[in-house]
């Protein structure tokens, strides 16, 4: 293999040998209010690095979901400037909704595990590649009696990118309509 071929193949380099863990705790600023929390940063603005997110574990306040119309939405986003949780929002990279559903005439309620695990390691490349800055967790309750809470635990590796590849990644995350 000649030097040109080596350079062509080595667009990205894994900085970390093992997975890193990042934890964020977030509580709604008031009940049923969309709230963002910026995740800790491990790089500077000038570094052209990305997170390869392999897995995300979420834990939320299950005791808040008590009635048929209760809902708790949460996830990860590259922006905190939007106001409506929707799959059509281009900066949302992971979104979850937990619904409370009553059934039967006597309305029995089913409670499930209050943890959600999202495994991205089976995706091509081993996960979701995102710029390291900024990255937010978000949550919003609907019809909850009190503010909801969320703990987000992210397993990731840091990837070194060339400046051109870094800007390609940033541009690829933009949605044009």
Going by their DSSP bridges, the two strands 35-38 and 136-142 should be labelled as: antiparallel
SS3 state of residue 16? coil
b/e map 17-48, b = 16+ CB within 10 Å: eeeeebebebebeeebebbbeebeebeeeeeb
Please name the helix (run of DSSP H) or strand (run of DSSP E) that holds residue 168, with its range, or none: helix 163-172
pTM score? 0.82
Per-residue model confidence as pLDDT tens for the chain (177 residues): 444 444 333 455 555 677 899 999 999 999 999 999 999 887 777 788 899 999 999 999 877 777 888 899 999 999 999 999 998 898 999 999 988 776 666 556 665 667 899 999 999 989 999 988 889 999 999 999 899 999 999 999 999 998 888 888 888 876 543
**CATH architecture of residue range(s) 22-172:** Sandwich (2.60)
- Locate the domains of the chain by residue range: 22-172
């Amino acid at each position: 293999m000649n030097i040109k071929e080596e350079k062509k193949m080595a667009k990205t380099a894994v900085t970390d040998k093992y997975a890193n863990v990042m934890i964020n705790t977030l509580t709604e600023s008031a009940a049923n209010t969309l709230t963002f929390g910026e995740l800790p940063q491990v790089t500077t603005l000038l570094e052209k690095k990305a997170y390869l997110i392999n897995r995300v574990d979420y834990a939320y306040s299950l005791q808040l979901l008590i009635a048929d119309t209760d809902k708790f939405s949460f996830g990860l986003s590259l922006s905190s400037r939007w106001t409506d949780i929707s799959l059509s929002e281009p900066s949302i990279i992971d979104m979850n909704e937990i619904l409370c559903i009553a059934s039967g005439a006597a309305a029995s309620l089913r409670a499930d595990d209050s943890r959600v695990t999202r495994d991205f390691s089976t995706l091509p490349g081993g996960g979701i590649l995102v710029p390291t800055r900024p990255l937010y967790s978000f949550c919003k309750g609907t019809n909850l009696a009190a503010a909801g809470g969320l703990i987000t635990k992210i397993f990731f590796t840091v990837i070194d990118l060339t400046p051109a590849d870094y800007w390609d990644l940033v541009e690829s995350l933009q949605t044009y309509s």
